Structure 1
Amino acid sequence: MPSPTPPHPPGPGRGLQPRAPTLPGPASAVRRTSYGPTSPEVGARGAHTRRRIVDASLGLFDELGLHHTSVEAIARAAGVSRATLYQYFPGKDQIFLELMDECARALVRVARRIGELGPTEIGFDNLNWWLGEWSWVFDKYRTMFVQWSLVASADPAVRPEVIHFVEGYNHRMAARLEAADVSGVDPESAAVAMTAVVHRLHLFRHTGRVYEADSQELTQALSVFLQLVLFPDTPNEVLLPFLSTVTPYTPVVPPPPECEALSLRTRVRGLSPRAVATVERLVVAAAKQFAAKGYHRTNVDDIVASAGLARGTFYKYFHEKQDLLHTVCVEATAATVELAGRLRRVDVFDDAALRPWLRDFVRFLDHYRGSVDVWSERLAEGGVIVALGAHAQGVLDRALLEVLTSVRRDYPFDPLAGTLLFRALLTRVPEAMREETEIPMGEEQIVDLLVFSVRRGFFSHLTAPPI
């Protein structure tokens, strides 16, 4: 796959740049040394075979996902034997890493070409240019970006490489922000939050969770949001050329599936207090393991070990891992609905109301992150889980929309784009601030950053107090 060429001509300060550094390679394989992309032994024919393997993997990762793609399937799609594939890659994780490296190089090239940022027309134009280029790169490598997010939190072979790249990229962006004299927030924290929101919003686009919102309009709304977070004193005349009047929009909330029989309440009905406690321990342990390792890499032994129970006890109450996942997702949906109901009563200008809600939402994500990730997968296991995720998302989005439209702004505001940005901020930034900074943020620091971002990005240019 060739490296992308930015579709737009260079702007001020966007000259030719040196080649981006590669990511560190994976650990050496148990098998004999493979033919890397620059190996002198590979030759033209070998390079062609290697490229076929990589391209076939990209197609299968897009169709099936990394977890459901086997080495046999890759070899068959590439028209080679397993033995031949192993001469080039120790396994599918290393193929994933090579594809990820291509994505990383593209993003670094774009980052190197960003011009001066600031509360000026040129600064805003440069920010908008960067976001437009990011969108273009994401579209070109959409398969890898989608899988990147789903795999990085759980795959021990991939995770260090993802973190290594993201940290380096954020350092580069932080230097840009520091040079622009960003105030009110540490440049490193601002860079992590900024890239987290951008990536998550595009992930929403490519997993069908943006209510068919227009890509260009989302990029423009994202530009305004980040510009106000970073430079709240940006004059309105700078923002207005990037905005247009939009019509009100209310997210459609799909009805919840019929799944009362899968709820914890139903599962423990009629059981003894001791049995109830056992089932509850299994549900809590499953949520914890799904969050730590990801659903696909968690097995029954992990769950019972975490719960301090025997394997036979698990099968007394649940048929299989997916049966337990259903119950965890039902509980996660109920928690989302409860949080959304509380959010509708929150005054975003009142610390005593906003901060406790954000704190509880961060804790919710910490506990149910693995289940929420399953909702995000296009190949989630079972229609019930997909339906639960769609209902939970719709309920939360409706509450976010009500909060955002409770004020009047002195510039055109797109309520749909704002809702999607708010969701991206809440669902990705807490995790990013723990995983993508040299010193992980504590809970209160994360809440501080969320309050700062929400108020600056959505409520800094107002013409009237809350309605």
Structure 2
Amino acid sequence: MSESQITRRASYGPSSPDVGTRGANTRGKIVEVSLELFGQVGFFNTSVDAIARGAGISRATLYQYFPGKDEIFLELLDECGRALFRVARRIGPLGPTDVGFDNLNWWLGEWSWVFEKYSTMFVQWTAVASSETAVRPEITRFIGGYNQRIADRLESSGLKGIEAKAAAVTMTAVVHRMNLFVHTNRAYGRNTQSVVDSVSVFLQLMLFPETPDSVLASLDLSAVGHDAIDIPPMPDIAGSTTAERTVGLSKRAVNTVQTLVEAGAVQFRERGYHRTSVDDIVEEAGFARGTFYKYFSEKQDLLVALSADSATAAIDLADRITHIDPMSDDDCELRAWLDEYLHFLMRYSGTIDAWSERSVDSDIVSRLGAFAQAHVDRALLSLISSKTRDYPFDPVMSALIFRAVIARVPQATKELPTPLSRDEEIDLLTACIKRGFFTRAR
């Protein structure tokens, strides 16, 4: 070997024969520190340098174990994924019986236990999965496999009226989003058991609307928390909306601002907020970089504009749903509202993800999201509370479940092998809402 050649230590990766105790401990420390940092500042705000410092090693040493933080996330994903699959394998028969309802409630309780243990991963899950990272296809693969296992169980349980794969996607989407609400303090004071019980009642009726009231009554429904939904103060957004920003501008300038805002909405939706750069936005818009800074101070300033626009649209949608009768034999009004909501969701999904995941260091964006979502929740609470029921029912949690269904399920169905059409999405949402909330309401 010539003196110019460099001798490298063998990698301590999982396939290395030279890992040893010391190497395994170092690898474990890297994973442990990464999980802690992901929880504190989020996946996108965590750097490899910060992980190395936290683990007490050099950056070069970290790269002997992992090519980057994406691969560390994948290792953590594999760990929590194995835990979820162990729970899924143990689900007993489901159906409109005491045993079926008990098995469903047990599964949801076990899922919540896994979520508690790996809450950092699940909180980051959606934001990472919606961005262009090496992690994204692995999350998609895992979700597909998990939903297939649930769908198989539903088919063997005699599910009728909803296609099994669509029902499975709905179940996992709602459970994930509701657990996320608990672990980000947005469940209106409800604890994990209260959420598990309310989701159990909703899913049981969504899957098996013929379930007798006596079966539902077998659950001692826990409803610890607030019995009303308070809307936080409206933040001062004067001058923040797109319309307000364009007052007094020429027609050409107005079109430029609107084009930039639209390009930002598209890029935030397709790449995720954190993975989107100003260069991505101006390339989408077809403008020079300098044009962007003529109207926006930074990328986050554009997010504020989109947040103000989407909050205004969300409040309008919330106000209008309170005038719909979801128990009407004619579903036209509900379906028309859902169609408008899906248009809203498509346009602002990247912005809504920034609200929901609380992954943006912007007080105005966080407050706008909290205000708009509470406004929607109160409207849904009013709709749900207008009917009485003879089975255990928590109206506040049901309003939150309702929002989880309409906000997350349409996105989750895109993970199906054959994504649903717009009409099929509306069919699924209508069925979930009517079966899960209004089957036997009066």
Please indicate the TM-score interval, normalised by the length of the shorter structure: over 0.9
Q: Say if 2:440 is the partner of 1:458.
A: no
The residue type equivalent to 2:374 in the other structure is: G
1:427, distance to aligned residue in structure 2 (A): 0.9
Q: Contact 2:150–2:168 at 8 Å: present in 1 too?
A: yes
Q: Contact 2:124–2:357 at 8 Å: present in 1 too?
A: no
Query: Counterpart in 2 of 1:10?
Result: none
1:241, distance to aligned residue in structure 2 (A): 2.1
Q: Output one character per residue of 1:241-275: Cα deviation in whole Å (capped at 9) or x when no partner.
A: 21449698221011211111212122111111111
Residue pairs, 1:29-40, within 5 angstroms: 34-40=11-17
TM norm structure 2: 0.95
Give the Cα separation in 1 of the matches to 2:373 and 2:9. Answer: 48
Query: Given the alignment, which residue of 373, 384, 387 partners 2:364?
Result: 384
Query: Counterpart in 1 of 2:269?
Result: 291
Query: Counterpart in 2 of 1:157?
Result: 134
Give the Cα separation in 1 of the matches to 2:437 and 2:291. Answer: 50
Residue pairs, 1:4-83, within 5 angstroms: 34-83=11-60
Give the Cα separation in 2 of the matches to 1:101 and 1:419. Answer: 33
Q: Contact 1:154–1:293 at 8 Å: present in 2 too?
A: yes
The residue type equivalent to 1:110 in the other structure is: V
Q: Say if 2:409 is the partner of 1:429.
A: yes
Give the Cα separation in 2 of the matches to 1:283 and 1:181. Answer: 47
Residue pairs, 1:18-417, within 5 angstroms: 34-244=11-221, 249-348=227-326, 349=328, 350-417=330-397
Q: How many residues align?
A: 432
The 1:421–1:32 alpha-carbon spacing in structure 2 relative to 1, beyond 3 Å, is farther
The residue type equivalent to 1:325 in the other structure is: L
User: Greater CA deviation, 389-398 or 236-245?
Assistant: 236-245
Give the Cα separation in 2 of the matches to 1:213 and 1:245. Answer: 9
Give the Cα separation in 1 of the matches to 2:162 and 2:242. Answer: 42
SS at match of 1:90: coil
Q: Contact 1:211–1:251 at 8 Å: present in 2 too?
A: yes
SS at match of 2:77: helix
1:59, distance to aligned residue in structure 2 (A): 0.5
1:32, distance to aligned residue in structure 2 (A): 9.7
Query: Given the alignment, which residue of 444, 462, 466 partners 2:423?
Result: 444
Query: Counterpart in 1 of 2:4?
Result: none
* Unaligned 5+ runs, structure 1: 1-30
1:156, distance to aligned residue in structure 2 (A): 2.4
Give the Cα separation in 2 of the matches to 1:207 and 1:297. Answer: 23
The 1:32–1:151 alpha-carbon spacing in structure 2 relative to 1, beyond 3 Å, is farther
1:344, distance to aligned residue in structure 2 (A): 1.1
SS at match of 2:159: coil
Give the Cα separation in 1 of the matches to 2:11 and 2:430. Answer: 49
1:38, distance to aligned residue in structure 2 (A): 4.8
Query: What's the RMSD between the two structures over aligned residues?
Result: 1.6
User: Greater CA deviation, 39-48 or 184-193?
Assistant: 39-48
1:129, distance to aligned residue in structure 2 (A): 0.5
Q: Contact 1:116–1:123 at 8 Å: present in 2 too?
A: yes
Give the Cα separation in 2 of the matches to 1:176 and 1:440. Answer: 21
Q: Output one character per residue of 1:208-232: Cα deviation in whole Å (capped at 9) or x when no partner.
A: 2111112211101111111111111
Give the Cα separation in 2 of the matches to 1:129 and 1:244. Answer: 14
Give the Cα separation in 1 of the matches to 2:289 and 2:364. Answer: 26
1:410, distance to aligned residue in structure 2 (A): 1.6
The 1:41–1:331 alpha-carbon spacing in structure 2 relative to 1, beyond 3 Å, is same
Give the Cα separation in 1 of the matches to 2:10 and 2:166. Answer: 40
Give the Cα separation in 2 of the matches to 1:99 and 1:326. Answer: 32
* Unaligned 5+ runs, structure 2: 1-7
The 1:318–1:32 alpha-carbon spacing in structure 2 relative to 1, beyond 3 Å, is farther
TM norm structure 1: 0.90
The residue type equivalent to 1:439 in the other structure is: T
SS at match of 1:190: helix
SS at match of 2:284: helix
The residue type equivalent to 1:52 in the other structure is: K
User: Greater CA deviation, 304-313 or 33-42?
Assistant: 33-42
The residue type equivalent to 1:83 in the other structure is: A
Give the Cα separation in 1 of the matches to 2:217 and 2:68. Answer: 51
The 1:87–1:257 alpha-carbon spacing in structure 2 relative to 1, beyond 3 Å, is same
Q: Contact 1:34–1:90 at 8 Å: present in 2 too?
A: no
Q: Contact 2:278–2:299 at 8 Å: present in 1 too?
A: yes
SS at match of 2:308: helix
